[in-house]
């Protein structure tokens, strides 16, 4: 028992939030059915507090979204884990994220994908997210300021695509940028009270299928102004 407490004290000295992350993973994610070992490791590893203003660090490891300004939020940790798991991640695959926001979801993706391409439409958020991601030495994350409705055609096709804001319908441009054999996960619905995660898959022959999963509540996906 003494050895356990010494280990906990050492963890707290190196990272005072490591114990809180461990509790969050054990008591929320594992109990609610997250099973992918890579996703669980990522959720334990990524310091969510670094993606929040210091005044909000005390809320970093509670399982709810937190406002980050500009009408955006950092997503609920369980939802981040759930959506990442639904992508069926692999260290051999490339993923496109629409809606960088704070950068937290991109950081989680960086632990379970080969390359992460992430697009943010709000300049201040794109800058701050890139700063934090670079500070964490996540060299496989590429941030772009732009319109998520258009995707990132120069880097397409992508093995996986993840939306972290809800469009009324998943844009066709993003489905077109999904590689054969690929998968897209997104919240969908104009009404935040009736949104669902959708999983869109593209077969090797190009046939597209879709199914619905969890009921969710996300901020709307914003297109660029004309």
Which CATH number does 62-216 carry?
3.40.50.150
* Residue 136 DSSP symbol: T
- The per-residue pLDDT for range 44-86, each reduced to its tens digit, is 999 999 999 999 999 999 999 999 999 899 999 999 999 999 9
Mean pLDDT by 10 residues, the chain (226 residues): 47 73 96 97 97 94 93 94 98 97 98 98 96 97 97 98 96 98 96 93 97 93 78
pLDDT, position 16? 80
Which residues have a catalytic role annotated? 75
The Cα–Cα gap between 47 and 49 comes to 5
* Residue 220 DSSP symbol: B
Q: Where are the domains of the chain?
A: 62-216
Contact (CB, 8 A) for 115 and 211:
no
- Which residues on adjacent β-strands are paired with residue 160? 95, 183
pLDDT, position 71? 87
- Which residues on adjacent β-strands are paired with residue 208? 202
pLDDT, position 4? 41
Sheet holding 115-120, edge to edge: 141-145, 115-120, 94-98, 158-163, 178-188, 195-202, 208-216
The Cα–Cα gap between 202 and 183 comes to 6
End-to-end CA distance of the chain: 63
């Amino acid at each position: 028992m003494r050895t356990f407490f010494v280990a906990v004290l050492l963890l707290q000295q190196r990272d005072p939030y490591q114990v809180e992350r461990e509790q969050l993973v054990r008591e929320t994610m594992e109990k609610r059915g997250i099973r992918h070992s890579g996703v669980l490791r990522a959720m334990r590893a990524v310091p969510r507090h670094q993606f929040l203003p210091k005044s909000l660090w005390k809320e970093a490891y509670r399982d709810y979204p937190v406002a980050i300004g500009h009408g955006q939020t950092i997503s609920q940790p369980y939802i981040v884990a759930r959506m990442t798991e639904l992508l069926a991640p692999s260290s051999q695959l490339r993923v496109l994220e629409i809606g960088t926001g704070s950068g937290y979801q991109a950081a989680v993706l960086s632990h379970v994908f080969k390359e992460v391409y992430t697009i943010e439409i709000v300049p201040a958020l794109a800058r701050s997210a890139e700063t934090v991601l670079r500070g964490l030495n996540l060299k496989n994350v590429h941030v772009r300021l732009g319109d998520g409705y258009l995707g990132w055609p120069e880097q397409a096709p992508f093995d996986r695509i993840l939306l972290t804001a809800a469009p009324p319908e998943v844009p066709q441009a993003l489905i077109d940028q999904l590689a054969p054999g690929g998968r897209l996960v997104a919240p969908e619905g104009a009404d935040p009270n009736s949104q669902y995660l959708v999983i869109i898959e593209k077969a090797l022959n190009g046939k597209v299928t879709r199914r619905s999963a969890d009921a969710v509540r996300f901020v709307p996906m914003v297109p660029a102004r004309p």
